[in-house]
């Protein structure tokens, strides 16, 4: 039985050595996993910080957009007022041109010799019409 005991002891010692080798490999892999966990934690913290900065940037962009909207609204209102004033001026100029055309066409023929160039008035009237 001593040979059988010796064989069993050697087999058991071999199994123990194999167990130790597997335990060392497992320990190394667990250390690598732990290091990966730490890296993952740092990555998540960086992502959280980037998210906070992005949210702050969005808030700043929103405030800038609101300020720009207010400024553009004021400029649009001023442009509308200017457009209305220009429309009134154009209408007045058109009315004045119409009156000049009517006044020029209803001029008496007796006044025509007193003018230097009778066709010049017609040229002016045509130019006023073209401008309109």
Q: How far apart are CA 86 and CA 94, in angstroms?
A: 12
pLDDT at position 88: 93
Q: How far apart are CA 98 and CA 71, in angstroms?
A: 40
Q: How far apart are CA 103 and CA 100, in angstroms?
A: 5
The ranges of the chain with pLDDT < 50 are 112-114, 116
pLDDT at position 109: 52
pLDDT at position 85: 93
Q: Which two tokens stand for residue 123?
A: 């040229």
**Total-model pTM:** 0.44
């Amino acid at each position: 039985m001593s040979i059988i005991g010796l064989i069993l002891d050697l087999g058991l010692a071999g199994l123990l050595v194999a167990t130790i080798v597997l335990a060392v490999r497992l320990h190394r892999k667990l250390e690598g996993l732990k290091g990966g966990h730490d890296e993952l934690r740092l990555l998540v913290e960086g992502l959280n910080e980037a998210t906070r900065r992005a949210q702050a940037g969005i808030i700043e962009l929103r405030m800038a957009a609101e300020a720009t909207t207010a400024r553009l609204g004021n400029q649009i209102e001023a442009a509308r007022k200017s457009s209305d004033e220009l429309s009134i001026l154009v209408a007045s100029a058109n009315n004045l041109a119409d009156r000049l055309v009517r006044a020029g066409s209803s001029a008496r023929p007796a006044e025509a010799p007193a003018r230097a160039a009778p066709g010049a008035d017609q040229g002016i009237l045509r130019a006023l019409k073209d401008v309109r």
